[in-house]
Homo-oligomer: A and B are copies of this chain.
Amino acid sequence: MRIALDAMGGDHAPGPIVAGAVHALADQPDLQVVLVGDQTQIEACLPTGDFPRDRLEVFHASQTIAMDDSPVEALRRKPDNSISRCWQLLAERKVEAVVSAGSTGAMVAGGLRLKRFLPKVRRPGIATVMPTIRGYCVLLDVGANVYPKPLHLFHYGVMGAIFAKHILHIPHPTIGLMNVGHEEGKGHDLARDTHALFNNSPLKDRFVGNVEGRDIHRHACDVIVTDGFVGNVVLKVCEGVFDFIMKMVGKEIVAPLPNDQRIALNALQGLIDRYDYSEFGGAPLLGIDGICIICHGASGDRAIRNALKVAAQYARLGLNQLIVQELDAIPVPSGIDE
Contact = CB atoms under 8 A, between A and B. Distances in A.
A6 B264 CA distance: 45
Nearest to A261: B260
Contacts of A235: 213
The listed residue with most B CB atoms (<10 A of its CB), out of A183, A235, A244, A254, is: A244
Contacts of A178: 233
A81 B137 CA distance: 40
A180 interface: yes
Nearest to A244: B217
A268 interface: yes
The listed residue with most B CB atoms (<10 A of its CB), out of A70, A252, A267, is: A267
Given A180-B146, A264-B253, A214 B236 contact: yes
B263 A264 contact: no
A48 to B, nearest CB: 38
A160 B259 CA distance: 45
Interface in A88-135: 105, 131-133
The listed residue with most B CB atoms (<10 A of its CB), out of A146, A218, A228, is: A146
Given A239-B214, A271-B249, A271-B252, A187 B244 contact: no
Nearest to A68: B183
Chain copies in the assembly? 2
B260 A258 contact: yes
Nearest to A268: B253
A249 to B, nearest CB: 6
A228 B180 contact: yes
Interface residues of A, number: 62
Given A70-B183, A143-B180, A249-B271, A233 B213 contact: yes
Nearest to A104: B181
A252 B273 CA distance: 13
Nearest to A131: B244
Given A256-B263, A264-B253, A267-B253, A212 B233 contact: yes
A257 B247 contact: no
A241 interface: yes
A270 interface: yes
A70 B132 CA distance: 30
A185 interface: yes
18 contacts: A70-B183, A105-B186, A131-B244, A146-B180, A187-B229, A191-B229, A213-B232, A214-B243, A217-B243, A230-B230, A233-B233, A234-B237, A237-B237, A237-B241, A252-B267, A253-B254, A257-B257, A259-B260
Given A68-B183, A212-B233, A241-B242, 19 more contacts: A70-B185, A133-B247, A180-B233, A191-B229, A212-B232, A213-B232, A213-B237, A214-B239, A214-B240, A217-B243, A230-B230, A230-B233, A233-B234, A237-B238, A245-B245, A245-B249, A248-B271, A249-B271, A260-B260
Interface of A: 68, 70, 105, 131-133, 143, 146-147, 178, 180-183, 185-188, 191, 212-218, 226, 228-230, 232-249, 252-254, 256-260, 263-264, 267-268, 270-271
